[in-house]
Structure formats: C-alpha cells, structure tokens
A and B are shown apart, each in its own frame.
Chain A
Amino acid sequence: MKLSRRGFLHIAGASAGAGLLARPGAAFASEAVPGADERAMLVDTTRCKGCRACEAACSEANGNPPPDRGEDVLDTNRKTSQTAFTVVNRGPNGPGGARRYAKTQCMHCVAPGCASACPVKALQKQPEGPVTYDPSKCMGCRYCMVACPFGVPKYEYEALAPRVRKCTFCFDRQKAGKAPACSSVCPTGALTFGRREDLLEEAKKRVYGQPDRYERHVYGELEAGGTNWLYLADVSFAKLGLPQNVEKQSYPDLVKGALGAPPFVMTLWPPLLMGLYTFAHRREKVAKDGEHGAHGAHGKKEERHG
C-alpha cells in the first residue's frame, strides 16, 4: 500500500494526538507490572520444609561441588558463594512453632543493577528474564558486586582467570523448555515457576485469601524496581534474611541522571571554554595595544585632546 502525503500527515497527526492523550492511561496499562512476561519464580516460604533438595539440584546443574552436609548446616547463616549459587537458611519459627526457611539466590531483577553496571556487557539481561554472564567478555572490574543490592555476584579470587559466579536461573534449561533445576525438584510446592505477572497475581491471591496468615507484602514486587524471584512469608522478611536496605526503584535508574551529563559536557564545554579563551585573549590584546598606544601617542596627547 502506498501512503499519500495527506494520508501520512493524517496518521502522524492522529498518533501524535493519541500519544498525548493516552500517555497516562497507556502507562498504567502496559507498565503496571514491570517485566510482566518474563519468567519468574514464586517462593512461598510457608511451604518450605528445609530439605535443601534445591541446593543439591542447583549444584549438579551448574557443575558445583555438592552442598554442605551435616545437621548444623541449617543453624549457620550461610551466604551464596562462588561454588554454591543457592543456599537455604533457617529463619524464625512461624505460627504454631513451625520451622521457616528461606532460599536465597540471584533475584534476577527486571532491571538489574549488575548488568547495567557492566561496562563490557558480560552480564546481560535476557528478554526471557534471566541475568546471564559470559566470562569471555568479563574484564574482572567487579563493579557488578558493588552495584548488586542483594550481594549476589561472587568472585573467584583464587583463580588466575577469575569468573563472576551466580545463579543464571538455569537459562540453558529454560531455553530447552525445562524449569530451573531447583524448582523441578522441590517436593513441597514452595517454588512455583511461571510468568511474572501470573505469579504476582497468584502471590496476592494467597495473601488476600489468608490475610491472617501471610505478611501483607510480596518481597520482590517492588524491591530494586521489581525482581523475578518473589517471596511470600508468614514471618518478617528481615528475619528470613532478605535484605531490607534495598531501594524501591530500579538500580539502573538511580544513575541515569548522572550519566545524562556527558552529552551536555561534551557539547557545552568546548564552546564555553573557547569563548572564555577568546575573551581572555582579547583582553590581553587590548591591554597590550593600549600600552603601545600610550607610549606612541605620548607626545601627541595634548594635541588630540585639544
């Protein structure tokens, strides 16, 4: 179809008008749930029994050594490491003295700070949701570790060609149509894998369905601007070991203002400095000319004024 000039203007005008009118409404409709279509995981900590099958499956899927064994493992507050991408820690007891546990791993932010911090794009946000890492591009600056509010990326300091290590949300398994290793072995239904928007609805359904049971918060809905791992709990999230000093906005957005400065510096500084230089130069020249003029015209001064 060939578009006439008139037709084009008509469409352009209409869409510009629509854009102006529809902006607030459209924002609500499409951006109500950031990363709505991304793959996500709902962790219902009230259903977790602390069996740590997820840890074992994770280590196997990622070629890491088998997880720590022993009775006291759950009593120590462990952190994920370069050889353990997920760990389950015991939290406080829930209602009725039931034991509560929380699995931690990369949260796979909808807008990840680590990936935006990476100057070589070794860490990348996949459109499907996972945040993945390519060691062949990494220069080892470790800015991702500074930028991650959850303290997730871990580094192989002992290696001569160190890598950043973290959960990849089993991106390879996902590409093959499988669920991540951890959720595929969870026997209690504590882990639910699915679309982010659907899981958020499911999470809220559970909270509103049993308001006396659950904390009225879905951890990960707003944290760091939204994460693909979402948590439900019937005890405080802080006591489950989920970081509380996390901003409620996306981390890449934090630095956007500062990173907007360079174009202005690059375009405004040179003409401004050239201008200052020209003024300074002219002032000098005038001063010099004035000096010479004064010397030369010394004798004629009277005449000129007269």
Chain B
Amino acid sequence: MASPAFADVPRSFFQEKILLGMTPREYLRSLVTPGNALVAVILCVGLPLMVYRFAAGLGATTNLSQTAPWGIWIGFDMMTGIVLAAGGFTLATTVHLFGLHDFHPIVRPALLTAFLGYVMAIVGLIADLGRPWNMVYVFVRHGTPSALFEIAWCVVLYSSVLFLEFLLPTFEWLGLKRFRSVLLKIMLPLTILSVVFSSMHQSALGSLFIMAPGKLHPLWYTPWIFIFFFISAVMAGISMVIVEASLSHKAFMSRIHHHFDLAKLQYGLARGGAIVFFAYFFLKLQGVIDMHAWGYLWSGWGAWFAVEMLGFVLLPAILYAVGARNMNVKLVRLGGALGVIGIALNRLNVSVIAFNWNLPSAQRYVPSWMEVAVSLTLVVLGVTLFRFCVNRMPIMSEHPDYAGSEY
C-alpha cells in the first residue's frame, strides 16, 4: 500500500482510478460539499424507502388504486426516464451514422445519460412491479399480442447495447486496450441496433395506451400515439442533449481538454429541433382532428392541452428557430429546457394526469410522498453516477491514448 505521505511513491490502482489519485482521507474530505450533503440526505431517505416498499408492499408505500394501476413510478421513472434517454440514440445516429462529426464531443455524455437513464428506469420498474421475481416469464411465455412484451424485450436488448457502448470509455479508463480494440469492431452494428431497439421501445411505450381509449382523454388519445411517442422522443433527445451539454460543460470544465464551441453545436441541434418541434405541433393538431376532439379544446382539459402544446411545443420550436437564426445561445438553451419539461409533461399527461380523466376528482390519483421521494432518489442516483463516471472516464474529452477515435 502506498504511503500517503510521499507524492512520488506510485499510487495504487484503486487510488488512481477510483479516488482520483487522492488518498482515502483526502478523497473523503473532497466529498464534503453542500451539493453532496443534499445528495446524501436524499439517498438516506430514498434508499431505505425502496427497501420499505418490498418489506411493506405497494399499498403501504403508494397511492395506487383499483382505478389508478399506474402512478409516477411508471409515469415518471419509466415513461419520462426513457424518453429523456433518447439523446443517446439521436446523437449516435447523427454522428456515427449520418457522419456529422462536429457533434462528436457531445456523443459520449449523451450515451452515458441514456445508459444511466435506462438503469434508473429499470430500478423504478422493479419497485413498481408487484411480483418482480416473475419477470423472466416475459422471455419464455411469448405474450406477443402485448405492447408490453415488445417493451420488455426492447428494454433488455437496448440496455444491453447501451451497456456495451458504455464499456468503451470504461475500458479506456481502466487501460484495457485489448478489450477496447475488440469492442471497437462491433461499435457500428451496436449503433445500428441501438437505433432499432430504441425507436421500437420509444414508440411501444405509446402503444401501451392504444388499449385505453375510454380512459385517456381524447385530446391525448389517438391510435397513432406510438408515432407521436417516437417523434417526441427525438425531440426529447435533441432538447436533452442541449440542456445536458450546457450543464455539464459548466460543471465539468476541468474535464474538457480540447475545447470546442458548444454554442455552435447547439445552434445545429436547435436547427434540427425547430423542424421536429414544428412538425410535431402540426401532427398533434392532426391528432385532434382525427379524434374529432375539437370540442374538448374549450374545456379545462383543453386549456391544459394548450399549455402543453403552446408553452412546451410551439414556444420551444420558435425559440430554437429564432435562437439558431440569430446565434442567440440563451434562447436555444431556454428552448431546450422548455422542450425537456414539455416532453416530461406529455408523458405524465398521457400516463397519469389525463388518464382516468372522466373519474370524479376524489377518485383521481395523487402520488404519495414516498412515491415522490423514490422517484427523486432515482434522479439523484442517476446524476451522482453520471458525475462519478465523468470525473473518472474519458466522457467529456477523448482519452489522450485514443485521440481521434471514431467512437
């Protein structure tokens, strides 16, 4: 064991890789920050709650009911978590398949966000399932007429692909050159599979609700909801990358070795985003026409629908367009933030808020504080793991040994 007293004594592998080259004591001291204290408090509440959920049951922890079988563990952890992970496949397609290499510096953070998003969604799903130990039956009992069957397979296959893609920076970090060179050979097929699986997964999450025409409000229900889910996943992917790049560019400045013009990339993303957001806005109007749901626009639900459509679809579209045209990065980032909130709002509207809209308000679902705490814990856990990885692995910048690598 290397003595902490002498800096020139070679440091142990553990110290080098995990403790960021510090001694255990130095490392622990470096962890004492106000942000980490908040994280610690949330995890100290949330992690025991997840244990409590399995010890006491769903009834004791959630406000789920016979009319509200799905709460925010599905509506937020799964629906929103997965759609916000769409930046991974969106950017991987842009860079690795379409060959727009100027976006290269922000691919790895997007893929890491996607991987962690999926991991957290799976954890949330396991908490939500009544009998998670029977999950394996999805893979042996062929419930093919179910959208959930498609989803289960996509979750497993796509998170496996994301895991393999995540191994690339991991191998670089640990210096496993042989493994890395093997992995590099399958990166193109992996990228293609990631697009296949995630586009099916994103749309199938929408297909779930096709069977609930009497329960989901007509302004949100349409037999074409799976197309809307796919398009809005691309929108979420673009917006999430804009937001996440802005935040991590600031937070992890020290990890970025080769500085690039982030604003320029964000204009590019915003240009694409403006088109997709505008297209989605008009498609959603088409959905209203298709369902003959015009009349509902003049109700309270219509006002809520208008908030989603005008404030979080049309406004981001305009902000993207104007921001990209006038090179105003603030507008673009504001558009990104609104876009992310808007897609999250859409998923919550479909799965929780506008679901069971015709029930009397006393029977409507409102999450319990424990459900909120567990969802918050998963978000915090995801962000913490993101920070852990970024601070150690070549995520924000290339590893000097592998500079100029395609992936």
Binding site for B on A (CB under 8 A): 79, 81-82, 113, 116-122, 135-143, 145-147, 149, 151, 154-155, 157-162, 243, 245-247, 251-252, 254-255, 257-259, 261-262, 265-266, 269-270, 273-274, 276-277, 280-281, 283-284
Q: Which residue of chain A has its CB nearest to the CB of B64?
A: A157
Nearest Cβ in chain B — how far from A167, in angstroms?
15
B275 at the A interface (CB under 8 A): no
Q: A117-B211, A255-B210, A273-B97 are known contacts. Are A157 and B223 too (CB-CB below 8 A)? A: no
* CB atoms of B223 and A257 under 8 A apart: yes
How long is the Cα–Cα vector from A136 to B134 in the complex, in angstroms? Answer: 8
Select which of B64, B146, B206 is within 8 A of A143 by beta carbon: B146
Q: A142-B69, A254-B210, A283-B99 are known contacts. Are A265 and B129 too (CB-CB below 8 A)? A: no
Nearest Cβ in chain A — how far from B151, in angstroms?
8
Select which of B97, B101, B144, B147 is within 8 A of A258 by beta carbon: B147
Q: A270-B196, A276-B97 are known contacts. Are A81 and B57 too (CB-CB below 8 A)? A: no
B130 at the A interface (CB under 8 A): yes
Select which of A119, A142, A246 is within 8 A of B146 by beta carbon: A119
Q: A119-B152, A162-B130 are known contacts. Are A146 and B223 too (CB-CB below 8 A)? A: no
Chain B residues with CB under 8 Å of A121's CB are 137, 141-143
B4 at the A interface (CB under 8 A): no
How long is the Cα–Cα vector from A252 to B149 in the complex, in angstroms? Answer: 14
Chain A residues with CB under 8 Å of B226's CB are 258, 261
B265 at the A interface (CB under 8 A): no
Nearest Cβ in chain A — how far from B89, in angstroms?
11
Chosen A-B contacts, 29 in total, with CB atoms closer than 8 Å, are A117-B145, A118-B146, A122-B134, A122-B137, A135-B131, A136-B134, A139-B132, A139-B135, A139-B137, A140-B129, A141-B148, A142-B130, A151-B66, A155-B130, A157-B62, A157-B64, A158-B57, A158-B59, A161-B131, A254-B211, A255-B210, A258-B203, A258-B204, A259-B147, A259-B150, A262-B150, A266-B196, A276-B98, A284-B99
B113 at the A interface (CB under 8 A): no
B188 at the A interface (CB under 8 A): yes
How long is the Cα–Cα vector from A276 to B188 in the complex, in angstroms? Answer: 12
* CB atoms of B99 and A254 under 8 A apart: no
* CB atoms of A139 and B138 under 8 A apart: yes
* CB atoms of B57 and A261 under 8 A apart: no
Q: A119-B152, A143-B148 are known contacts. Are A158 and B98 too (CB-CB below 8 A)? A: no
How long is the Cα–Cα vector from A281 to B98 in the complex, in angstroms? Answer: 8
* CB atoms of B138 and A119 under 8 A apart: yes
Select which of B60, B65, B141, B211 is within 8 A of A146 by beta carbon: B211
Chain B residues with CB under 8 Å of A157's CB are 57-59, 62, 64-65
Select which of B64, B131, B145, B150 is within 8 A of A138 by beta carbon: B131
Q: A140-B134, A147-B211, A261-B200 are known contacts. Are A255 and B147 too (CB-CB below 8 A)? A: yes
Report, as a range, how many residues of chain B touch the other chain: 35 or more
B309 at the A interface (CB under 8 A): no
* CB atoms of A258 and B207 under 8 A apart: yes
How long is the Cα–Cα vector from A284 to B185 in the complex, in angstroms? Answer: 20
Select which of B66, B151, B200 is within 8 A of A154 by beta carbon: B66
* CB atoms of A120 and B69 under 8 A apart: no
* CB atoms of A146 and B212 under 8 A apart: yes
Chain A residues with CB under 8 Å of B196's CB are 265-266, 269-270
How long is the Cα–Cα vector from A143 to B141 in the complex, in angstroms? Answer: 16
Nearest Cβ in chain B — how far from A224, in angstroms?
10
How long is the Cα–Cα vector from A24 to B57 in the complex, in angstroms? Answer: 53
Chain A residues with CB under 8 Å of B215's CB are 146
Q: Which residue of chain B has its CB nearest to the CB of A243?
A: B214
B311 at the A interface (CB under 8 A): no
* CB atoms of B145 and A158 under 8 A apart: no
B358 at the A interface (CB under 8 A): yes
Bitwise interface map of B from 169 to 208 toward A, beta carbon under 8 Å scored 1, else 0: 0000000000000000000100011011001100110111
